[in-house]
Chain A
Amino acid sequence: MIVDIATGVCLITGSFFALTAGVGILRMPDFYSRAHPAGKSDTLAQILIMMGLLLQALEHEIFGPHVGIKLLLVSVFLLMTGPTAVHAITKAAHVEGLKIWRRRG
């Protein structure tokens, strides 16, 4: 019961952050500020959702023991590759000389 409540809190918080990342990427004013929700909010959402599902897999033993290991592996790979890819994109844009957005006035 406690584990189910913890799972629900983790999943709802994670989906909130996933939605926030979508809104941020759509609404931010320039490329460099759009890299911020793509790099951080997405990673946090992924960690929270994977943590909730890991709790669920350990509690109910739906598929067997290897599912938890695979979930952890997916989470660690996303944690390593996501911010690295965003950093590579931002570095490439900076090298090409993309201008930083400034407020008029």
Chain B
Amino acid sequence: MTVIDGILWVTAGLVLTGIVLVLIRAVLGPTVYDRILAVNAIGTKTVILVVLLTFIKRRAEFLDIALLYTLINFVATVAILKFKELGRLG
């Protein structure tokens, strides 16, 4: 498992680099939609990172957190879009 552990660390590092690149776009983005898109992409990559952390740290509870984060990410994106379009959440 040692080689696989190394590959897991390398994968986590590359995904984290991707998160940093997308974060630059979220800070820089000229329109609101660029920022929403970047935050959504960061959420997807965070789910991948949590699942990788499950296998690196050998803790099965992290998978439940990843499952929850997936659904909350989608609902949050749609809620932000609705708030942007209507000005209220109802």
Contact = CB atoms under 8 A, between A and B. Distances in A.
Pair from one complex: yes
Chain B interface residue bracket vs A: 35 or more
Main secondary structure of the interface of A (DSSP, over half): helix
A22 B84 contact: no
Main secondary structure of the interface of B (DSSP, over half): helix
Contacts, number: 145
B21 A11 contact: no
Given A42-B45, A89-B33, A90-B33, 20 more contacts: A11-B7, A11-B8, A12-B10, A18-B15, A18-B45, A18-B48, A19-B14, A21-B18, A26-B24, A26-B25, A34-B25, A38-B37, A49-B51, A67-B60, A71-B63, A78-B70, A84-B74, A86-B40, A92-B84, A98-B31
